[in-house]
Chains A and B, each alone.
Chain A
């Protein structure tokens, strides 16, 4: 197929032959007088403050650097409440993000050579000059609003600033519509604010933690994992609702192996028991909530017996757990979860979770959800951003009225021309997100990328998305750069510094530098009134009584709270909703034409011979971004498909056999995946860890290892409230013979 943008494999070009020598250092045996001890005994390290970028938790840490400039290890900062001196395996293995030999090394530009599209190395000046002239061109022809940014992580801040200065607010993060968006909108509609990140869950002091769609311990959200362990020590009851015996489920007093897609029925039955057995927190509800009578009427018939037929959970189990939950109230957390884009009614499911928390009186009480407090750093002075003529909101044509962040999928759709109509979006910058693995709508994504006038990808690694770019910009890793101060709102306000531990390798550059250089070439120099980013940080820190020098010494600064994290006796709390009260019944939803209270709707079921595809996390990987990290690949090189032995028997599938997966629409996995026979999963579902099955050969350690769940998610159930892409309605079957797909890639 001839396309505007042939997918180019960077490896095929012999580019970037400069080997990374750091990190390959041989073990130094030093003074091994006593035995097999090692370098670090005699070594003295330079300690450089940073915060981790391997996931969004952003734990503060010290990079330990040897005299030769090798990053030997990364250790958590004791003063950081987000990690308490203990990083997770990914943070500890963060050295591999730096030492990965497959990193991008120089800017690359798409050119035609002998009639074939290919990349050639370019200087920064040439690459940036090209992008700036294209962006000027797009602005002149279509308006600045027709540029969009897709982003994830700290680098996104720098490109967001650039795009706003340029004149567009089409800034879309997959973390909204593909992940936490439904949860944030659901909690916002109920309590007037979201649960934030890191979440305001008071797990360490809880008496009862209910996990429904959250697998703490496999999702390695560090502070939560640490607190769950503390709660276990203190004897807290854990109740886990999961079709799979997750790690957390294995530590629970109650495991509810629910039939997937029926969570709302269970939540409504729990609400029913709390209300009709009068177990709810009457005082809290009458003080702080609105719409109780409507809720009581709604759940009248939603008994545990009703839910049994839907969820396959026995009525006694539903009643007993409801009582257990009520006994612990208000020191109880019905966990809001994080990745919530499942079935297209996800805002409503999260509303049901929020409503349960409200009935128990958990928000504002110790051991429930607390009120966060943070510190806002003033922005470094710059001219006002121009007001764009239109924004991402216009792209939805009146759909998804309660989205409060840009929706990736609508930005992608708006990049595709339709009969006689030009696309509204003409150019993308993609920073730190491998859309090929994070966006489930593969065909739309492909069409959009083929229609763009400009596609720039900024990344540290040759992820699949780089193969579609006109220009690839190699960013240095978090260990080689300054970034914005992490200003966290949580139990206490904290500030945290990231600074370069070592110089950037090869021709890589920090995102702040890339954005500034582009800005200056676009005539936006007034927005970049500094030479080094350290000047920005120092100025900001000085506004709040610290300084860059101080932060370089301590890495993390904790500030005192001015308000109480809990409702104190004798005072009342005003929630941030329009009325100041918790919305059990949502007038906002009713006015927008949605159910004012959550209701259960059945979702499609797998046909004979098909199994629901459930995906999740492993503690040693973050999405697809760590799949090539040498340290972490060593821990988990590939994913496997979890299959119940009874199911395997029907198919004659053996333990550790490799199979291909085919979904309900005929999509077949590119690579085979190892079968893990396990009693830990239901008969009607299979489970895989997200982030594997990379097909880009330059990712030497990740290539061809395991299966990419995203390629099997061809059916998406979009949440009408905010545009979230529900991805759990896909069903797979097994192919034991090679379908010969790999040769196509």
Chain B
């Protein structure tokens, strides 16, 4: 089992619904977020293009945040989901520095927090909150080892990229272009 996400940049409108849904699902304190939207603009008027991306923890295969954690709070769950155990976390912030995606933040309660792929929902057979809410249905979540999954299907049929591949972290969020 290897959970991953594919996000279709042709459909995303950058509305940030994924961000709010994550907040209300996961009690993320206002002012912080586990996912966010970026926009890149290319070209000059009138030959301009933009790309909108919903970004979050890449649940990397080769995750520097887990390697550098002194207490073992950052760890990898079944399916490759990278998690933080709050009561083991001392809030040192080493993982925040190590992450090339700036996906982690210090929670006001003294531990480091980040995207969990909504593991509590996934265990019940539901999609993560961001995927379930997206009005454009631009996100696909699933198991890369299941040949019949939608995510395997879209990755087979579409061009895609990952962010900062040069960091060598083997990220598991793919952007369909």
Contact = CB atoms under 8 A, between A and B. Distances in A.
* A and B found bound together: yes
Given A88-B17, A89-B15, A229-B136, A34 B119 contact: yes
Interface string A621-633: 0000000001110
Given A32-B85, A32-B87, A232-B10, A632 B45 contact: no
B24 A35 contact: no
A92 B27 contact: no
Given A34-B83, A229-B136, A245-B50, A41 B120 contact: yes
Nearest to A251: B10
A218 interface: yes
Given A233-B11, A247-B14, A619-B14, A38 B120 contact: yes
Contact of A229 (B43, B50, B133, B137): B137
Interface in B86-120: 86-87, 107, 109, 111, 113-114, 116, 119-120
Contacts of B58: none
Contact of B19 (A87, A89, A228): A89
A315 to B, nearest CB: 16
A35 B19 contact: no
A73 B24 contact: yes
Contacts of B26: 38, 40
B70 interface: no
B11 A36 contact: no
Contacts of B133: 75-76, 86-87, 92
B19 A635 contact: yes
A74 interface: yes
Contacts of A233: 11
A89 B16 contact: yes
Interface in A613-659: 619-620, 630-632, 634-636, 644, 646
A89 B20 contact: yes
Nearest to A83: B135
B8 to A, nearest CB: 8
Contacts of B15: 88-89, 217, 220, 225, 619-620
A86 B135 contact: yes
A286 interface: no
Contact of B30 (A74, A230, A247, A631): A631
Contacts of A631: 20, 23-24, 30
Contacts of B87: 32
Given A86-B135, A631-B30, A245 B16 contact: no
B75 interface: yes
B49 interface: yes
B146 interface: no
A631 B20 CA distance: 7
A736 to B, nearest CB: 23
Contacts of A635: 16, 19-20
A258 to B, nearest CB: 11
A76 B17 CA distance: 12
A75 B49 CA distance: 33
B77 interface: yes
Nearest to A40: B25
A649 to B, nearest CB: 13
A36 B83 contact: yes
Interface size bracket, A side: 35 or more
B56 to A, nearest CB: 13
Interface string A15-47: 000000000001111001011111111000000
A262 interface: no
Contact of B13 (A36, A245, A619): A619
Given A36-B84, A86-B134, A217 B13 contact: yes
Interface stretch (A370-378, A519-527, A674-682): A674-682
Contact of B45 (A75, A634, A679): A679
A225 B135 contact: yes
Given A233-B11, A620-B16, A632-B20, A245 B27 contact: no
Contacts of A216: 13
B42 to A, nearest CB: 9
Given A635-B20, A682-B45, A36 B111 contact: yes
Contacts of A250: 48-50, 52
B24 A92 contact: yes
Contact of B85 (A35, A88, A245, A630): A35
A331 interface: no
A247 B45 contact: no
B45 A680 contact: yes
Interface in B29-68: 29-31, 33, 41, 43-46, 48-50, 52
B136 A226 contact: yes
Nearest to A215: B13
Contacts of A247: 13-14, 50, 52
B30 A679 contact: no
B16 to A, nearest CB: 5
A26 B109 contact: yes
Contacts of A673: none
Interface string A75-94: 11000000101111100110
A222 interface: yes
A280 interface: no
A92 B20 contact: yes
A34 B134 CA distance: 26
B135 A35 contact: no
Contacts of A218: 13
Nearest to A39: B27
A721 to B, nearest CB: 33
A247 B137 CA distance: 16
A187 interface: no
Contacts of B138: 229
Interface string A219-255: 0101001101110110000000000010110110001
B46 A257 contact: yes
Contacts of B19: 89, 635
B54 to A, nearest CB: 12
B137 A226 contact: yes
Contacts of A359: none
Given A257-B45, A619-B16, A632-B20, A38 B86 contact: no
Nearest to B78: A34
A74 B46 CA distance: 40
A35 B14 contact: no
A92 B119 CA distance: 20
Given A88-B15, A620-B15, A634 B31 contact: yes
A37 to B, nearest CB: 5
B173 interface: no
20 contacts: A29-B86, A32-B86, A34-B77, A34-B83, A35-B116, A38-B25, A40-B27, A75-B133, A89-B19, A92-B24, A225-B13, A229-B11, A232-B11, A245-B46, A245-B50, A247-B52, A255-B46, A620-B20, A635-B20, A644-B45
Closest 6 CB pairs of A and B: A35-B83, A217-B13, A41-B120, A619-B15, A229-B136, A27-B27
Interface of A: 26-29, 32, 34-41, 72-76, 83, 85-89, 92-93, 95, 216-218, 220, 222, 225-226, 228-230, 232-233, 245, 247-248, 250-251, 255, 257, 619-620, 630-632, 634-636, 644, 646, 678-683
Given A34-B83, A34-B85, A73-B25, 18 more contacts: A32-B85, A35-B119, A36-B114, A72-B24, A74-B24, A89-B17, A92-B24, A92-B133, A226-B135, A229-B11, A229-B13, A229-B137, A245-B50, A250-B52, A635-B19, A635-B20, A679-B48, A680-B50
